[in-house]
Structures are given as structure tokens and as C-alpha cells.
A and B are shown apart, each in its own frame.
Chain A
Amino acid sequence: MKTKRLIISLIFAATALIFIAKLFYIQVIDDSYKLSAENNTLRHVTIYPSRGSVFDRNGKIIISNQSTYDLKVVPRSVAPFDTLSFCKLTGISKSELISVFKKKKYSYKPILLKKQINAKEFAHIAESLYKYPDFFIEKRSLRTYPYPVAAHVLGYLGEVNVNDLKSDSYYQSGDYIGKSGIEKIYEKDLRGKKGTEIYMVDVLGRIQSSYKNGKYNKSAVAGKNIISSLDIDLQKFGEFLMQNKIGSIVAIEPSTGEILALITSPTYDPNLFIGKKLAENYRRIEHQKYKPIFNRALRSMYPPGSTFKPINALIAMQKGLITDRTVFVVNGYDAGTHIVKDHVSGAVSFRKSIQLSSNAYFCNVYKRIIADKNFESFADAYEDWRTYVKSFGLATQLGTDLDFEKRGILYSHKYFDRYYGKGHWNYNTIISLAIGQGELGFTPLQTANATAVIANRGYYIIPHIVKDIENKGIDEKYKEKHYSKVDKKYFKPVIDAMEAVVTEGTGVSAYVPGLDICGKTGTAQNPHGKDHSIFIAFAPKDNPKIAVSVYVENAGFGSTWAAPIASMMIEKYLTDSVSRPWLVKRISEAKLVK
């Protein structure tokens, strides 16, 4: 019997040893349980900082925050309540309420019942919420855009997606992030820094006390305020003029590169892309005709048409191929296979060529550029010309602080080698480039910037939309001058001619007494329909304050639509008024969309 007693005792002892070993493992060796215990009891409550506001160049607030309220509940802790009156109070449907509770019946974490309750609704709900002690309200902040314009420039906020979460550990699922425009590019400045408060909670997720008296709490740091270079009134005026038209206006302050207005039409109200309305509205607007979400100012590539002539004139002068006294006697231009038509004929001076926009004159100029004896081949001459064009910031990515900037079209000579065969093309083959048609595509932003180069007599500063960031300033690259390959002295005759365009040339419809506007009309040939109307301009002639490019799609000649619009933009900016209300009325009421 001794052995039997022994064996039973052994079983008892072995069991005790196994238990003690297991306890030693989970209590002393394995740390994961301690972490889990903290996860159980410590609730990290994120304190959201207020996002930075955005002001326009005149100090008007253009993006700000409004308070909204989220209704939350911890389903596991809810005592029975009067659902009918609760639904009536909050506007949540009974079936919705039931389904939320069913799905998350055992959740210890607070769940969202109703999102983004506005202040008025909140006041109504808060009055009676004491009857439902298990429900609580959390304050959140929503963006608001006091001016319903400049949607593409300002951008919008949306919930972070998987990629955002992966690329930046700052974000947690459900956070908001800038999705486009200033909101996106300056996200890191605007967002500030989240804070945390740590609480001890019980199994029902109810806060019991502050953890270690708030020793480990981190307060939130508010986002930085930003001053945009935008003139919101000018922007609004531009959008008003462009209503019912397709196209774009870009206005730049030449001396600083600051973007004063950036209009793409059609557009939409940025307030449609706020909070819970975002997804629905985005889907609706995305599919609207003429794509309001597409930013034409940065992404549409138009041939510059005759607005390109001043550039070619400048390049030819710099290369010493013409002077401001060069005269061509023209009657159209014979390009071998076809004649380039011209409404000007006879002896055309340098000044007249721009003032009246002579096609034949510039065909001859371009022939000199490409047939330049200093180069071994047309291709070499073409490449050299191309570097000149690019030095104006055309067909290059400028590196602005705007998103989705297209580069534009300006093919290398290889394109023509491929198309026509190496050595099988000459100046006549590509003569349309002389007058800004054919294989060229510049964005309205690039054209406005090139206009700024002319206004500045030879340089540009990368266009940018932000003038100043609180306690930080802007990137040095937005202060640096980029010189074109054309010397300052060659600009005077071109600018004089551009002044004549407005005073007594093709662009008289842009004339406003006393403003000294210099401009150039253009018409971009459109193989798909009516030509696009283009106008570039700056003013005043000396010490220019604004350079502008205007594109109106399918509107015909530049002088008809684009020129008056440009002049009104300039006038509005320089004098803060418009002297031709009848013109404003005619333009704004014109419908140029089918």
C-alpha cells in the first residue's frame, strides 16, 4: 500500500510543480501579459489640435475651422433607455440604432453613433442628453471655406487611407488629412501635433481616473497659420467672369512669383467637400460634364498660339538673327507644301509683327532660328531653340507648391526624326511652331509665368501660392530668381510692341485708360472644335504688379473673350474696381458651353 500512497502523492506534487512552472512563465518570464493588462486599462485619448487657418494676401480668412460634435456610446455599458424619444431627439432611425447595437454589442470601446452634428443641432441634443447618461458627445473640428471659391487651390480634407497610414505613423485610422491643394501640400504645417491624455478605464470603457495624475499626458500643439498669396476677391471675380465657360485664368505678381489668382472653370464650391458630405459630393461632381475636379490651370496643355510670338522674337534677337529694326516684306509665307496665311501683308516692321500678330513675319523669324548657320544641322538649331524656350519656364515642371502640375509638350528633335526620318525635316516642316501651333502644349500657369518673365525683363520666381507660414516663412526656392537665356536689353522693344497690341493692335478690347497694360492675343487651334481664345498680359508697363494668362476654350479669337477678361482682372487687381460694368455683365452672362 506504500507504493499506492506514494504514487498518489507524486501525482499531487507533480500537479503543483506544473502549476508553479506555468505561473512562473506567465508571471515572471513572459512580459506580454503586462502589456495586455495596460492595453486593457489604459485608454489613450487623442487630443486633436486645431488645424491652422489660411488667410489671403489681404488678411481675409479663407480656410477656418468650425466645431462639430460626434455622438458616441459604449454599447456594453448601456442601460435600457427610451429608444423612441432618443431616435426623435437625435434623428437616428430606429433600425440604424438597432443595427449598430447588434453589430457592436460587446464592444468596450466607444463607437460613433452620429458624426458631425452641427452647432445648432448639438444645442438641441445637448439639452435632453442628460436623460441618456450612457451617451456622450465628443467635440471635433471641421474645415470651412468662408469664400465658396478657389476649391482647387485650397484643397480639401479626407479620411486617411491605407497608404497614408503606412507612410506616416503620425496618422491613425479615422484621422483627416489634406487630399489636395494647400491642405495637402502644407499638411505638415497645418496639422499641428496631436496630444494624448491617458486615463484608466474599467471593463466597460468608463473612465475611472487620470493615469498618474496626467504625468504622461501630452498637450496638443495647434497647427500653423498660413498666409496665401491669393487675392480672394480677385479669385472670386475671376471665377465669376469664367462661369459657364471652360478655361482658366492664372495671375501672378511678377516680382515675387506669388500667385494672385488661379482659376479653373468649371469649378465647385469647396464647402461641398467637407466631412460627411465629401464622398457623396465627390462622386457626383467627378462625373459632371467638363470635369470640374480637373484643374485646367495646371493640367490642361494648350498650344500657345500667337501669344508665343513675343518669345520667339526675344529668342531671335538674343541669337542676333533679327533686331528691333528687322523688316520682312510678306504676303503669306510659302512653306513649300502649303502657304501660311496672314492677314497682314507688305512690309512688316518688328513692332507691327507683334502689334498686328503677323504670322508670315514670325515664320521668317523661325526660319532664321532653325536655319541658323552656327549649327551643323536643323536638329541642333532646334535643340538650342528648345533650351531658350525652356528657360522661360515653358514646358518644364516649375516646382510650384501646387499639386498635379503637368510638364507640357515641347518635343526633342528625336520626335521629328522619328516622325519624318532623320535629316528629312527642316524649318518648313515645323513652321507652325513659329506661331505657337502644332507640337506645343503649355499650361495656363506656365504661360502666365512666361508673361511674368517678360514683365520682369528676363527672370521669374517659381510661382507659389503660399506667401508666409507662421513662425517659419517659406522655402528659399520661392525667393530665387531664374533667369531666361535672353538678356534684359532685348525685352524693351517686345514690351513696347505688346503695349501697342493693347493700345492700337489686336488686343484693343483689353485697353483700360491709365493702366499701361501690355498684352498679346492668341488663338489656339483646336482640332476637336472651335479654337481656344487666349490672352496674356501684364501691367503696368513699368514696374509690373500683375501678369496674367487667360484661356477660354472654344471661344474663338483671343481678342473676343480672353483679352477683355484679362484686362478686367488687371483692373480689378490694380484699382480694386471695374470701369466697364457692361462688359462684366456681358462676359459673365455669356454661355460658351454646350
Chain B
Amino acid sequence: MKSKVLGNIDLITLSLYFILVIAGWMNIYSSSYNGSDFSFSSRYGKELIMIFINVLFLIGILFLEIHIIPTISYYIYGFIVLLLVLVLFIGDKTGGSRSWFIIGSFKLQPAEFAKLATALAIAKFAGKEGFKFLSRFRDFIISFLIIGFPAFLILLQGDAGSALVFASFIFVLYRQGLPFYILLIIFVEILVFIAFFFISLNALIVLLIITALIVYFILTGNKKETLNAALLITGISLLGFIYVVFTRRNIPANMVLSFSVLIVAVFKIIRTFNKRKIIQLFIPLILLFYIGSAYSTDYVFNHVLKEHQRTRINVLFGIKKDITGVGYNVHQSKIAIGSGGFFGKGYLKGTQTKFNFVPEQDTDFIFCTVGEEWGFVGASGVIIIFTILLFRIIKIAERQKSVYSRIFGYSLASILFFHYAVNIAMTIGLAPVIGIPLPFFSYGGSSLFAFSIFLFLFLRLDTERNTLFS
């Protein structure tokens, strides 16, 4: 048994994992190093202890009777959900969120393990025979509940970043049958959201209408219908503008345009309903969806969000420069990384990270130390290693005979991707400051344990790929 496991384990993934953990610890050492002798009570010392404990765990996993895992998936999930509920009541409140259990001198963050538990549950549920994501409404709803419930509980703790991570399950669902156009719609929706901050609402609506007309023409090839729609929208809008001018009402242009689109789209939908013309039906609907989302964004941004949240978003998009307040972290983080240059300042020689200009430098902003001391070479190296690891995980996932293992693998890849991408995007100013750790790098036991166990469970499942069928 033992020799079989060790013989079958994927050495490439194993090496990539250890490269990342060792590189991670070196950077924690650098950012908490203060010139004195090695000490186990320092941050880097504690992290080293945790890495050793972690390795013991991993060895344990390799000897685990793995067939038991699929059977107890729901129990693990249930247990973690219980912990998530419990932490809401007896958890320790640090940094604005109630998400830690304090057990002696240890701090445990159940949210880190909730991702793993959710992966187990969704693998079990979606892996069962006859699962039809689209055509069976019950499957669709239960999948969303399995993913959404822990995310909701984590949101209640006040840890929006960790809750957001559950969105990465969209990749898993996609792999299991969620159609591509839903991914595309989500992608365009993100574009609409970003565009909202850069162009006026008027321009955004006009842009959406023109794009919709062009897409309609390309997909249907029907010039007459496209022209008619364009003329109708223009005509109704003109009437609307005349009305606005004469009554001297304070109605913005985008409202008039959107109203005309609404009339034309509803007319189109009613006419093509029951005619099995999916595209003719779908495009007006999706256009209305985007226009609606633009207004929602407008409303949420200006009426629901609080001032500091607005500022955070504005800083992200570079609309507001605020390098002493909200933007301070990102500004300093970019300075640290940017000052690294091509080859970096050398190990232990970073000035920005060493002199504490970057906050949270050994947790969420650990990538700054990489960028400053190892330069472009080191920083892109880390990105490349992560990407290779992700490819490798997908490759392994695809060779599984058991659907359970495959879904579990995709879950691992998606969550790992989301964490690494959002974390690095945040440090280089491509995403807002969402406090989630960089896997294997950031200081902290919970994150390291959760990701390591996640990865090793998957590797262990892979060693049994020829014996697991379900």
C-alpha cells in the first residue's frame, strides 16, 4: 500500500508545492527578519514550526484510507458549516470580522477549511450519477445552496473577501455543464461594471445599444430587422427628448434611451415568443439585463455604499488619488514592487518592506517582498509556478476516472486560482484590497493547512485513480 502510494504520487505537483512553500517561508523570513539571531518565537520561526506540523499532517494523508473520503464528504461539510455558525457566536473578533476560534495559543479560521469542505460536498453531489446541471432544476438549486450557504455564513462574519472566493466554483460548474454563454454574460457584466466608472451613464447606455444591434446583426444576419430596431429606438427616443424639452422636466438622456429600448425590446420579445428563435429572444433580454445592471450599479454606488467603500472603489480605478488614506496600502505596495526593478534589490535587502512601509507585509501583502527583493524575475517566476501548478492540477483532474475526483480537482484549481489571482492583482493595483492570503506564501497556519490538505487529498485521490469509480 505504502509503496504504491509513493510510487503513484505526482512528483511534479509535489515539487511545485515544495518550491512554493519554501519560497514563501524565505519571504516571510525576509519580511520579519530584524537582524537578530534565529528565533522560534519570531514570525518566521512560528511559520517554520507550522510548516513542519503541516508536513506531518500531509504524511498522515498519504497513509489515509482514501475511499472513506467520498463517503464522509457530507459529514465534513456539515461539521464545517456547524463551525461557521459557532464562530459567529463564540469567535474572536479581530480586524472587524468575527472569524477566529482561539484554542490555547492557536488561532483557527474555519473559513479557510470551508472551501475544502464545500469542494468535497459539491464533488459528492455533482459527481453522483444522473446529475444534470441545467435540465434538472433541483440539481441546479442544490448546487447553488451547497456553495452559497457557507459563503453566506462567512459574509455574516464580516469577511467579504473569503466569501467572494466561493464565486470561483463557477469554473467547476462550467466544467460540469454550465453553458459557456453564462460565463460570457458574467464576463461582459464585469466589463459593464468597470465601464460604469470610466464613462458617463449616457455613453454607457448608447454603447450597450449599439453593441447589441451589431451582435444581433452578426448573429441573425437580418439587416432589415436590425435597421428597424435601430430606427424604432431612435424615433421613440427623439419623441422622448422633445417631450422632455417642452415640459422642461429634469429627465436625463439615458433614461429616455433606456425607456425606448424597453418598449422596443418588450415588443420584440412578445413577437418572437413561441417562435423558437432563441437569438431574437435572447439579445433584447440580455440588453435589458445589462441596462438594468448599469442602473443598479449606479444606485448601489451612490445610495447604498458608504463613503469609505466608494473611496476604496474610486482609488482602485484611479479616479481618486488617495495615497495617505484608503489608497495607502496599495500605493506603498506598488512602490515596493515597482522599486524592485528587473532583478530586485537582493534577498533581505528590500527597503520598503524592511522599513515597514508596506502594511500586512507578511500576510496579505507578502507578494511585495517577492517583488521588491527578487524583482521582475522573481515576481513573474512566482506567477509562472502558480500557473504551471494550476495546469498540472487540471491535467491530473482530467485523467480521473471518478467524477468525484475530477470535480474535487477542478475545485482545488479554481479556489487556488482565485486566491492567487485576487491577491496578486490587489498588490499590483488591479483589484480592490480584498483581504485574502496568497496560498503557501502568506503567514498563517489556517491558510497553509487548508490548501496543503486540499492539495494532498487530491494527490492521494490521484494515486487511486485506477481503483476509484463513481
Where the two chains meet, the residues of A that have a C-beta atom closer than 8 Å to any C-beta of B are 1, 4-5, 7-9, 11-13, 15-16, 18-20, 22-24, 26-28, 30, 32-34, 36-37, 40-41, 106, 200-204, 208
Contacts and interface: CB of A to CB of B under 8 A. Distances in A.
B61 interface: no
Contacts of A202: 354-357
Q: 9 nearest interchain CB pairs?
A: A33-B338, A37-B339, A202-B355, A203-B356, A26-B338, A16-B387, A27-B376, A36-B335, A41-B351
Contact of B335 (A19, A24, A33): A33
B380 A23 contact: yes
B70 interface: no
B376 A34 contact: no
Nearest to A35: B339
Contacts of B384: 16, 20
A27 B355 contact: no
Contact of A9 (B336, B375, B380, B394): B394
Contacts of A200: 351, 355
Contacts of B351: 37, 40-41, 200
A179 B409 CA distance: 77
Given A33-B335, A40-B357, A106-B324, A28 B380 contact: no
B184 to A, nearest CB: 10
Contact of A8 (B338, B379, B394): B394
Interface in B326-359: 332, 334-342, 351-352, 354-357
Contacts of A208: 355
21 contacts: A5-B175, A7-B180, A7-B183, A8-B410, A12-B390, A12-B391, A12-B417, A19-B383, A22-B428, A23-B337, A23-B428, A27-B371, A27-B376, A27-B379, A28-B341, A37-B338, A37-B339, A40-B351, A40-B357, A106-B324, A203-B356
Contacts of A16: 383-384, 386-387
Interface of B: 171, 174-175, 180, 183, 324, 332, 334-342, 351-352, 354-357, 371, 375-376, 379-380, 383-384, 386-387, 390-391, 394, 398, 410, 413, 417, 421, 424-425, 428, 430
Given A4-B175, A19-B428, A34 B386 contact: no
A15 B421 contact: yes
A30 B337 CA distance: 11
Contacts of A30: 338
Nearest to A204: B356
B357 A20 contact: no
Interface centre among B324, B354, B380 (most CB of A within 10 A): B380
Nearest to A41: B351
A41 B352 contact: yes
Contact of A201 (B180, B334, B355): B355
Contacts of B386: 16
A9 B383 contact: no
A188 to B, nearest CB: 37
Contacts of A201: 355
A303 B272 CA distance: 105
A22 B424 CA distance: 11
Given A15-B417, A203-B357, A27 B340 contact: yes
Nearest to B377: A27
Contacts of B380: 19-20, 23-24
Contacts of B425: 19
A123 B337 CA distance: 46
Contacts of B413: 8, 12
Contacts of B371: 23, 27
Nearest to B176: A4
A379 B319 CA distance: 73
Contact of A23 (B324, B376, B421): B376
Nearest to A13: B387
A12 B375 contact: no
Contacts of B183: 7
B122 to A, nearest CB: 16
A8 B398 contact: no
B411 to A, nearest CB: 12
Contacts of B357: 40-41, 202-203
Contacts of B335: 33, 36-37, 40
A28 B339 CA distance: 9
B338 A32 contact: yes
B346 to A, nearest CB: 14
A208 B354 CA distance: 11
A41 B332 CA distance: 12
Contacts of B355: 40-41, 200-203, 208
A5 B394 contact: yes
Contacts of B174: 4, 7-8
Contacts of B338: 26-27, 30, 32-34, 36-37
Given A19-B380, A37-B338, 11 more contacts: A7-B183, A8-B174, A12-B390, A15-B387, A19-B425, A22-B428, A22-B430, A26-B337, A33-B338, A41-B351, A201-B355
A45 to B, nearest CB: 16
A34 B339 contact: yes
B352 A28 contact: no
A28 B324 contact: no
B333 to A, nearest CB: 10
A37 B336 contact: yes
A43 to B, nearest CB: 11
A33 B175 contact: no
Contact of B342 (A4, A8, A27, A106): A27
A8 B324 CA distance: 38
B341 A34 contact: yes
Contacts of B337: 23, 26-27, 33
A18 B380 CA distance: 11
Contacts of B398: 1, 5
A200 B352 CA distance: 11
